[in-house]
């Protein structure tokens, strides 16, 4: 057993040397865990941010002025006053996402006890902002009107008063979610690409024949590739969380980063084994790349990182339970967003370890078959 560990360690050190000479792969790792995470967190936002809004102020009253002043950054740009005759043309051009039409006599109607209407024209082609932004504007108008009239909110007159408490992300900022999810998703991509490319590099450069004449076993070769490439990804993920997410993006992480990294190490064992398995199926690097693409897509879209896992059909949920990414996303969200401890996430860790054992067993069988064909 000691000899096996020593051989696996030395083969892993060889992987470090091989990776250090692959400049493209090193640059890719650095980019994915720095600039890619930053751009994904700041560009892919589902909340309202810097939305273009215009106002047709037909009332010119104190109340209409308060409504305009309440449209503040970072949710909205400073509102632009336009003429009612230009409304249709500006909406057709997509010049504004929201155009608020305040009618004449708005304040007087409210003071007289009447219920006037404010028209909000929305460019719904901006899907990410249209729905949420409309709700924001409705809330702003209701708050400013209630404050102006010095009346209690209408909700207090209802028999049931709904009190909403947003847990774990009280400001409902999308960046708190997308920043960490960028790191989580990139771990999957790089783990499969890195270890798969390591196997394909051995085959295409002919160094696999060197390994065949050495007194090492197939399990030692696989173990060397798994721990070395997994360690590179783990260190890159730790750097990305501490520097990019916490320092640059100023996004607080609620849970234990140490527990997250421990779970990531288990996940890397599973996903790197899957990468070796895919590399044994492909015969060249282009084939490996084409084979990896559908695997990435399925693991991303159906793991719960983009859409709630519970919203998928039951049969599909049962199938995706066989994917380690499903349990990793569930584990990561529980730890990083909700501050969960080991008592909550142990089941997902156990399943990831079991799936990793299954993948590495199948990968070892395929790898031995590949070595026998090479010899």
82, two tokens:
């336009």
Are 136 and 237 in a shared domain? Answer: no
Quickly tell me which residue has 């449209």 as its tokens: 71
Q: Does residue 124 lie within any of the structural domains?
A: yes
Q: Is residue 164 pLDDT above 80, yes or no?
A: no
Cα 187 from Cα 33, distance rounded (Å): 9
Q: Is residue 107 pLDDT above 60, yes or no?
A: yes
| Termini Cα distance of the chain | 26
Mean pLDDT rounded to a whole number for the chain:
85
pLDDT band at 185 (very low <50, low <70, confident <90, very high): confident
Q: Does residue 169 lie within any of the structural domains?
A: no
How does pLDDT run across 249-262, given as a tens digit for each residue?
888 888 899 999 99
Are 179 and 273 in a shared domain? Answer: yes
Are 38 and 115 in a shared domain? Answer: no
pLDDT band at 329 (very low <50, low <70, confident <90, very high): very high
Are 144 and 225 in a shared domain? Answer: no
Q: Does residue 84 lie within any of the structural domains?
A: yes
Q: Does residue 168 lie within any of the structural domains?
A: no
Q: Is residue 9 pLDDT above 90, yes or no?
A: no
Residue 353: Cβ-neighbour burial (10 angstroms; 0-12, 13-18, 19+): middle
Of 122, 157, 192, at which residue does a domain stop?
A: 157
Q: Contact at 8 Å (CB) between 99 and 56?
A: yes
Percent of the chain with pLDDT over 90: 30
Of 157, 191, 218, at which residue does a domain stop?
A: 157
pLDDT of residue 371: 72
Q: Does residue 68 lie within any of the structural domains?
A: yes
Cβ atoms < 10 Å from Cβ of 9? 15
| Number of domains the chain contains | 2
Are 133 and 241 in a shared domain? Answer: no
Q: Does residue 164 lie within any of the structural domains?
A: no
Are 362 and 245 in a shared domain? Answer: yes
Q: Mapping DSSP to helix (H, G, I), strand (E, B) and coil, where does residue 60 land?
A: coil
Are 369 and 233 in a shared domain? Answer: yes
Q: Contact at 8 Å (CB) between 222 and 363?
A: yes
Are 40 and 94 in a shared domain? Answer: no
How does pLDDT run across 248-305, given as a tens digit for each residue?
988 888 889 999 999 999 999 999 999 988 988 888 888 888 888 888 888 888 888 7
Average pLDDT over residues 321-349: 91
Are 85 and 123 in a shared domain? Answer: yes
Q: Contact at 8 Å (CB) between 48 and 136?
A: yes
pLDDT band at 209 (very low <50, low <70, confident <90, very high): low
**Domain hosting residue 334, numbered range:** 2-44+174-374
């Amino acid at each position: 057993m000691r000899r096996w560990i020593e051989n696996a360690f030395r083969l892993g050190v060889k992987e470090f040397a091989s990776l250090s000479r692959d400049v493209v792969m090193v640059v890719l790792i650095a980019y994915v865990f720095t600039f890619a995470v930053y751009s994904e967190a700041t560009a892919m936002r589902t909340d309202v941010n810097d939305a273009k809004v215009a106002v047709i102020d037909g009332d010119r009253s104190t109340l209409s002025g308060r409504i305009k002043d309440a449209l503040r950054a970072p949710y909205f740009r400073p509102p632009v006053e336009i003429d009612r005759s230009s409304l249709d043309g500006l909406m057709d051009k997509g010049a504004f996402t929201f155009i608020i039409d305040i009618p004449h006599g708005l304040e007087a109607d409210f003071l007289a006890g009447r219920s006037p209407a404010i028209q909000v024209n929305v460019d719904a082609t901006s899907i990410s902002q249209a729905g949420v932004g409309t709700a924001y504007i409705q809330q702003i108008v209701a708050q400013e009107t209630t404050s102006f009239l010095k009346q209690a909110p209408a909700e207090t007159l209802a028999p049931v008063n709904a009190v909403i408490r947003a847990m774990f992300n009280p400001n409902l900022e999308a960046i708190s979610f997308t920043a960490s999810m960028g790191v989580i998703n990139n771990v999957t991509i790089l783990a499969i690409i890195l270890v798969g490319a390591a196997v394909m590099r051995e085959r295409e450069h002919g160094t696999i024949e060197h390994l065949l004449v050495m007194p090492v076993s197939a399990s030692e070769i696989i173990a060397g590739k798994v721990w070395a490439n997994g360690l590179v990804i783990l260190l890159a993920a730790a750097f990305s969380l501490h520097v990019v997410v916490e320092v640059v993006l100023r996004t607080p992480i609620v849970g234990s980063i140490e527990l997250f990294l421990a779970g990531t190490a288990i996940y890397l064992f599973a996903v790197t084994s899957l990468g070796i398995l895919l590399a044994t199926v492909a015969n060249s690097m282009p084939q490996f790349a084409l084979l990896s693409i559908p695997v990435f897509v399925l693991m991303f879209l159906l793991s719960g990182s983009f859409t709630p896992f519970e919203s998928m059909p039951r049969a599909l949920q049962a199938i995706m339970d066989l994917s380690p990414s499903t349990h990793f996303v569930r584990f990561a969200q529980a730890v990083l967003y909700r501050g969960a401890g080991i008592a909550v996430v142990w089941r997902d860790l156990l399943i990831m370890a079991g799936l990793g054992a299954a993948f590495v067993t199948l990968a070892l069988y395929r790898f031995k078959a590949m070595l026998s064909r090479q010899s």
